[in-house]
Amino acid sequence: MERRAFRVNGFVVLLVLLVLAAVAAVVSIEVLGIAWVVVFVLMATGFTVVNPNEAKVVQFLGRYIGTVNDAGFLWVLPFTSKRKVTLRVRNFETPKLKVNDANGNPVEIAAVVVYKVIDTAKAVFAVDDYGRYIAIQSEAAVRHLATVHPYDSHESDRTSLRDGTEVAGELTTELSERTGLAGIEILEARITHLAYAPEIAQAMLVRQQADQIVAARTRIVEGAVGMVQLALDRLAAEHVVDLDEERKAQMVSNLLVVLCGDRATQPVVNTGSLYA
């Protein structure tokens, strides 16, 4: 768990060392001068510079003693090692992965992950390399996501990989669980590339077009049936014409042909016989 390390303003410590140097020069005692040099060398090992959105993990003889995340020129305990950890928001894109979706269709998928380090102690000591760790975990999470969802789904209660917001939320949640032990916060994870594998892309395109045609035809038929029913109800309610069952069937057939046909209908006008 991250904790604050002891730190002092580096300019204050440097000023103290300069004052001691001035005293040693005035006194002109050789022993005092040697002592000042030794003190200066020891104290100088504690100076460090921390940049904005950066932290230094401080260790003393292999023991973690804290983290310095205040930007500026600082002084910490001497004889300590200081490892730099960036606190900036970082992002990377996973390679295009070839995975079978929930329906067994091979798809190509890639995602972008945005993250930052929130616990420097875990990021440094819990894993070997937190950058490589999150890259591997992201690839595993994207593969798992692709296997539990189909590429496309016409069922309203089933999430597909094309449902961007829902899928992004699932991917972010899963990655947060996988990377929490490394002190990393996942800000966003979103699919950036999604396509069928080349060997089935053409066949799936034909299938998608067929599905769209069927869906469109279904919608047209539903609307046409409603319009026919409305026409019959209006004719009966306003007593425009009385139709027997045979004429109703003929009228329904004609209306459905007109409303559901994919081409313009050609009306046929019955003018009666030319001969009496």
pLDDT tens-place string over residues 196-253: 877 765 666 766 676 677 777 777 777 777 777 777 777 777 766 666 677 767 777 7
Closest CA to 135 of 179, 87, 177, 173: 179
Share of the chain above pLDDT 90, in %: 25
Average pLDDT over residues 34-59: 85
Total number of domains constituting the chain: 3
Residues 46 and 68 in one domain: yes
User: What backbone phi and psi angles, to 5 degrees, belong to 274?
Assistant: -80, -20
The last residue of one of the domains, among 196, 211, 246, is: 196
Q: Is the dihedral of CA 181, 173, 87, 109 positive or negative?
A: positive
Residues 238 and 182 in one domain: no
Residue 32 pLDDT grade (very low, low, confident, very high; cuts 50, 70, 90)? low
Closest CA to 217 of 259, 252, 158: 259
The last residue of one of the domains, among 142, 166, 196, is: 196
Residues 122 and 163 in one domain: yes
221 vs 2, which has greater pLDDT?
2
In a domain, 265, yes or no: no
The last residue of one of the domains, among 161, 176, 196, is: 196
Residues 205 and 192 in one domain: no
Residue range of the domain that includes 117? 90-196
pLDDT digits (tens, 9 = 90+) for 112-165: 999 999 999 999 998 988 999 999 999 999 999 989 888 877 666 678 888 878
Which SS3 state, helix, strand or coil, does residue 143 take?
A: helix
Q: Give the amino acid at 201.
A: A
Give the per-residue pLDDT at 254: 66
In a domain, 255, yes or no: yes
In a domain, 240, yes or no: yes
Residues 116 and 156 in one domain: yes
Give the per-residue pLDDT at 156: 62
* Helical ranges in the chain per DSSP H: 10-27, 30-44, 120-125, 130-148, 164-179, 198-237, 245-260
Give pTM, 2 decimals: 0.67
Average pLDDT over residues 87-99: 91
276 vs 136, which has greater pLDDT?
136
Residue 185 pLDDT grade (very low, low, confident, very high; cuts 50, 70, 90)? very high
Is residue 199 a contact partner of residue 106, using CB atoms and an 8 Å limit? yes
In a domain, 154, yes or no: yes
Give the per-residue pLDDT at 113: 94
Residues 111 and 163 in one domain: yes
Query: Within 10 A of 173 (CB to CB), how many other CB atoms are there?
Result: 13
